Chains A and B, each alone.
Chain A
């Protein structure tokens, strides 16, 4: 039975496709977007995470570790990653949940059971299940099996993807989904790499491939002030949308600081860049410009 690693299943989602949806957040992502405030989704495997605000300082985690991977520090337990076997003894020993695993291994059936609980809502609102993350396509077999299982139950599916995926696998996954939510972060390969850790060549290849796959596509453009919201990039993105020719709608997603992870991960990948959210006025203006260039309905959040 195919299994995958997810970080969370969120019900009553309203922003991850049409209608009310259940969003499955896959763990692991090939990108490292500097503005991402879900760093717990970066790594593909299970990760130990420590939340200092929940720690009661009992030391049970340190006492439970038989691999000497934890020691006492001035600000809480210190993790020695090289020694850590991820056995979970510290997690089991932690009363407050301050020490926990990010990610859990689940089967398709387990996800399906939870998704089916809201079937009535999907039927009433034209909703369904969205595979997101992290990057769902990076767990190809699991994503494919889940999409298939949902399809067999007659549940609408959306694949929320950054597009950094092997093309054949990408096509197969898209073919199994009812719609695609596609992120376009920057049109310059060099800048894209600087901002996300990878260039955009594969992403753009898959983006244009979508045009021939016959599935509805909604493009999402994160608007990160100072990083990708300049006129040149947005105009280039809008032109790409126009050229692709099969985009139903574009959503400009204004950066917001809400939900900035307060998790202090052991590898220090949680960061606050101090970015200011774009104002509603700014977003409205950008959306109007984008729509004028792309010819595609553009909204903002």
Chain B
């Protein structure tokens, strides 16, 4: 067999990816999170565990059954820099190599290192925060991690040996209190180098058994390339892709880290040089990028502003899009949209949305994000322009910012329900202003609690699971001997996301209509209905009245006004608060990520007619049923109106019919919708172009469409990998569109 063409190789690789995915579904069950490109270990090496994911969710997972963990705590686990560093090094050195000759790049990752630790360091005490965390059902993100973006340029400039030299240099400069940290960093690099070498040797071993000349030559090339990269800087486009992939996979395994940053900008120098020299074709480049993205579903931003405000879109931006299109797999590429940004990149992206129907790419409103961060984030504009989409809804300045964006959330509905009862107890028949005033008081307690949590994480993550691999590629961490989580980087703008804004806005409007204006019910009756979860004939009747109130998103309604009030209030309170110990600023966003279900599970019935235990509204989106028809622009206006405007996102999640793409001008119309949303202040758009019949059929029997990919709540996943409850979330959004 001769080496197949690139297209054939991609087909083979994607088919194998589908097989790996099916295996993961079989072994792990539902996976309500990003589709990672993790390949399960060989069966004889597997051990099933329950673990906490890199995003803090309880998941089924698989670890190596023969990894020797060296605990440094009486509870049998390992914490702190040396505990993490040494065990991660050993883990990497014991990681089985993986070579697929069809890929241009070596390696794949198999296990989440976090799965070897079931808990955070028990010596780190946050008891003082627990009462409010519990009372308000906060997602505090305590000891949250990896929601920052490394600056891979550091890796490309130094290489792995260069990083070790840098560590050594600054270890010699700084005092001994930092030695453990430096040693831990060194261990991480050693582990990565050893892992790469093992894979290189595997490629060599396989070449010795390969009959086909071309494939054998390729395997030898993989050996040569990776032996080089163990020590030296990458010199070619292919080598840059390989080294970045190794580091990204290592970071992913360490604690779920997920971002490549501005891949197009990072690869451009190599592309320019080699394409001019005739040593790299566009087809080569697309294939190399595809092989990178095949092995990890990293978040990537294409285009955007450089520090001078110039557009960074280049030919490589288009090549990354081509690679995503060629793969048609879950991926997380964000395309920049804004004044001065190449509009053809947007056009191509929209076209691929319609062609591929994989929820790719996403759209990043870079202009409104930069403006918001400058205005409210106290960040110079040159720096704000460098901020990069790096996660489900979050951004970071590569190598310079640590924010725990997307880790910390307030379910607005919890303090709202508390406030409602308190207002009724105090006033008997409160106005909505009175309810909101009390709500604001409770919201402040939530924010203050979370602020203390940020200080706690800042002080203590270093003793738990410091950001060792990512800190290798930050500015200031090695220089100061301080972890990115603990003072090593320049910017700490902690992010708090609000969730369930539509639940609360609709609830306030429902109270205003049914109790205050129409006197259909009393507050006493409402509270009784809520306590009984709208049970019984009278309860259901009441529920329908409350649920029938015009909703946020319809446009021009009381609920729309309440949504703006809630967002403004939240924004003002967050901006006015500093973390108590370190005085850090915090910035607000609106996002629920996968907590749409879990927050709903623990939330009682709400006055908008929502039943207890059912999902909350998704992010900044209106509740389903918000408008009879013409939903797309109405939703766009509504979500734009509640943007906090501080440089963090409040994404619009939108589902559209495939037929729009076949319309005369359909692509242009969708481009216009995207641009208009951002012009109104919108910040991020997650989109699915999806056929309702197909997704409903897949919901009944996922095996019918095993390769159906959806953008769920910011992340991209196989529909068949999701739990029924998560699939229902997507179905509900699409059916709401159909009714519209």
Q: Could you list which residues of chain A lie within 8 angstroms of chain B, going by C-beta atoms?
A: 8-15, 19-20, 22-23, 56, 58, 60, 95-97, 113-114, 117-118, 120-121, 124-125, 299
B680 interfacial by beta-carbon distance below 8 Å: yes
Distance between Cα atoms of A299 and B664 in the complex (Å):
10
With A95-B545, A121-B633, A124-B672 given, name 4 new contacts (CB 8 A). Answer: A12-B673, A58-B537, A95-B544, A121-B676
B135 interfacial by beta-carbon distance below 8 Å: no
Distance between Cα atoms of A22 and B555 in the complex (Å):
13
B542 interfacial by beta-carbon distance below 8 Å: yes
Residues A96 and B672 in contact in the complex (CB < 8 Å), given A13-B630, A117-B633:
no
Distance between Cα atoms of A242 and B668 in the complex (Å):
31
Q: Name the B residues within 8 Å of A114 (CB-CB).
A: 555-556
Of A8, A11, A58, A117, most buried by chain B (CB within 10 Å of CB) is A11
Q: Identify A11's interface contact among B540, B630, B672, B680, CB under 8 A.
A: B630
Distance between Cα atoms of A113 and B669 in the complex (Å):
22
B663 interfacial by beta-carbon distance below 8 Å: yes
Q: Is the CB of A125 within 8 A of B672?
A: yes
Residues from 213 to 263 in B contacting A, C-beta threshold 8 Å: none
Q: Is the CB of A95 within 8 A of B548?
A: yes
Q: Is the CB of A20 within 8 A of B541?
A: no
Q: Is the CB of B633 within 8 A of A96?
A: no
Q: Is the CB of B630 within 8 A of A125?
A: no
B675 interfacial by beta-carbon distance below 8 Å: yes
Distance between Cα atoms of A11 and B665 in the complex (Å):
17
Q: Is the CB of B666 within 8 A of A14?
A: yes
- Of all chain B residues, the one with the shortest Cβ separation from A57 is B537
B628 interfacial by beta-carbon distance below 8 Å: yes
Distance between Cα atoms of A13 and B673 in the complex (Å):
12
Interface membership of chain B positions 542-583, coded 1 if the CB is closer than 8 angstroms to chain A and 0 otherwise = 101100100000011000000000000000000000000000
Interface membership of chain B positions 525-545, coded 1 if the CB is closer than 8 angstroms to chain A and 0 otherwise = 000000000000100111011
Q: Is the CB of B669 within 8 A of A22?
A: no
Distance between Cα atoms of A299 and B673 in the complex (Å):
25
Residues A95 and B630 in contact in the complex (CB < 8 Å), given A120-B680, A121-B676, A124-B675:
no
Q: Is the CB of A125 within 8 A of B669?
A: yes
B679 interfacial by beta-carbon distance below 8 Å: yes
Distance between Cα atoms of A301 and B663 in the complex (Å):
9
B629 interfacial by beta-carbon distance below 8 Å: yes
- Of all chain A residues, the one with the shortest Cβ separation from B680 is A120
Q: Name the A residues within 8 Å of B675 (CB-CB).
A: 124
5 of the cross-chain contacts (CB-CB < 8 Å) are: A13-B630, A56-B541, A56-B544, A95-B541, A117-B555
Residues A12 and B631 in contact in the complex (CB < 8 Å), given A114-B556, A118-B637:
yes
Q: Is the CB of A113 within 8 A of B548?
A: no
Q: Name the A residues within 8 Å of B548 (CB-CB).
A: 95-97
Residues A96 and B669 in contact in the complex (CB < 8 Å), given A10-B630, A22-B630, A120-B680:
no
Q: Is the CB of B556 within 8 A of A121?
A: no
CB distance from B548 to the nearest CB of A (A): 6
Interface of B is mostly: helix
Q: Is the CB of B676 within 8 A of A11?
A: no
Q: Name the B residues within 8 Å of A120 (CB-CB).
A: 676, 679-680
Q: Could you list which residues of chain B lie within 8 angstroms of chain A, going by C-beta atoms?
A: 537, 540-542, 544-545, 548, 555-556, 628-634, 637, 660, 663-666, 668-669, 672-673, 675-676, 679-680
Q: Is the CB of A113 within 8 A of B556?
A: yes
Q: Name the B residues within 8 Å of A13 (CB-CB).
A: 630
Distance between Cα atoms of A19 and B633 in the complex (Å):
13
Q: Name the A residues within 8 Å of B537 (CB-CB).
A: 58
Q: Name the A residues within 8 Å of B542 (CB-CB).
A: 95
- Of all chain B residues, the one with the shortest Cβ separation from A98 is B544
Distance between Cα atoms of A299 and B541 in the complex (Å):
49
Q: Is the CB of B669 within 8 A of A10?
A: no
Distance between Cα atoms of A59 and B29 in the complex (Å):
47
Q: Is the CB of B679 within 8 A of A56?
A: no
Distance between Cα atoms of A121 and B631 in the complex (Å):
14
Residues A118 and B633 in contact in the complex (CB < 8 Å), given A14-B663, A58-B541:
yes
Distance between Cα atoms of A165 and B545 in the complex (Å):
41
Q: Name the B residues within 8 Å of A125 (CB-CB).
A: 665, 668-669, 672
Distance between Cα atoms of A121 and B669 in the complex (Å):
8
CB distance from B644 to the nearest CB of A (A): 21
Q: Is the CB of A60 within 8 A of B633?
A: no
Residues A8 and B676 in contact in the complex (CB < 8 Å), given A20-B669, A58-B537:
no
Q: Is the CB of A8 within 8 A of B544?
A: no
- Of all chain A residues, the one with the shortest Cβ separation from B537 is A58
Distance between Cα atoms of A95 and B664 in the complex (Å):
42
Distance between Cα atoms of A124 and B675 in the complex (Å):
9
Q: Is the CB of A9 within 8 A of B633?
A: no
Q: Name the B residues within 8 Å of A19 (CB-CB).
A: 665, 669
Q: Name the A residues within 8 Å of B668 (CB-CB).
A: 125
Q: Is the CB of A14 within 8 A of B669?
A: yes
Q: Identify B630's interface contact among A9, A58, A113, A124, CB under 8 A.
A: A9
Distance between Cα atoms of A124 and B678 in the complex (Å):
13
Q: Name the B residues within 8 Å of A14 (CB-CB).
A: 660, 663, 665-666, 669
Q: Name the A residues within 8 Å of B540 (CB-CB).
A: 56
Q: Is the CB of A8 within 8 A of B628?
A: yes
Distance between Cα atoms of A15 and B544 in the complex (Å):
34
Nearest 5 pairs of A and B residues by beta carbon? A11-B630, A95-B544, A124-B672, A10-B630, A120-B676
Q: Name the A residues within 8 Å of B637 (CB-CB).
A: 117-118
CB distance from A19 to the nearest CB of B (A): 7
Q: Is the CB of A11 within 8 A of B632?
A: yes
CB distance from A92 to the nearest CB of B (A): 8
Q: Is the CB of B633 within 8 A of A20?
A: yes
Of A14, A22, A120, most buried by chain B (CB within 10 Å of CB) is A120
Of A13, A113, A118, most buried by chain B (CB within 10 Å of CB) is A118
Distance between Cα atoms of A9 and B544 in the complex (Å):
24
Distance between Cα atoms of A37 and B680 in the complex (Å):
36
Residues A121 and B673 in contact in the complex (CB < 8 Å), given A56-B540, A96-B548:
yes
Distance between Cα atoms of A19 and B663 in the complex (Å):
11
- Of all chain B residues, the one with the shortest Cβ separation from A125 is B672
CB distance from B29 to the nearest CB of A (A): 36
Q: Name the A residues within 8 Å of B672 (CB-CB).
A: 20, 121, 124-125
Distance between Cα atoms of A8 and B554 in the complex (Å):
12
Distance between Cα atoms of A22 and B679 in the complex (Å):
19
Q: Is the CB of B633 within 8 A of A12?
A: yes
CB distance from B519 to the nearest CB of A (A): 12
- Of all chain A residues, the one with the shortest Cβ separation from B634 is A11
Q: Name the B residues within 8 Å of A95 (CB-CB).
A: 541-542, 544-545, 548
Distance between Cα atoms of A23 and B629 in the complex (Å):
11
Distance between Cα atoms of A113 and B668 in the complex (Å):
25
CB distance from B473 to the nearest CB of A (A): 40
- Of all chain A residues, the one with the shortest Cβ separation from B675 is A124
Distance between Cα atoms of A299 and B662 in the complex (Å):
13
CB distance from B626 to the nearest CB of A (A): 12
- Of all chain A residues, the one with the shortest Cβ separation from B637 is A117
Distance between Cα atoms of A22 and B627 in the complex (Å):
14
- Of all chain A residues, the one with the shortest Cβ separation from B541 is A95
CB distance from A12 to the nearest CB of B (A): 4
CB distance from A161 to the nearest CB of B (A): 21
CB distance from A27 to the nearest CB of B (A): 15
Q: Name the A residues within 8 Å of B669 (CB-CB).
A: 14, 19-20, 125
Q: Name the A residues within 8 Å of B663 (CB-CB).
A: 14-15
Q: Is the CB of A10 within 8 A of B629?
A: yes
Distance between Cα atoms of A58 and B631 in the complex (Å):
31
Distance between Cα atoms of A96 and B637 in the complex (Å):
27
Distance between Cα atoms of A118 and B663 in the complex (Å):
20
CB distance from B621 to the nearest CB of A (A): 16
Q: Name the A residues within 8 Å of B634 (CB-CB).
A: 11-12, 117
Q: Name the B residues within 8 Å of A60 (CB-CB).
A: 541
Distance between Cα atoms of A273 and B675 in the complex (Å):
43
Distance between Cα atoms of A22 and B633 in the complex (Å):
10
Distance between Cα atoms of A60 and B520 in the complex (Å):
13
Distance between Cα atoms of A176 and B22 in the complex (Å):
62
Distance between Cα atoms of A20 and B660 in the complex (Å):
12
- Of all chain B residues, the one with the shortest Cβ separation from A301 is B663
Distance between Cα atoms of A14 and B668 in the complex (Å):
11
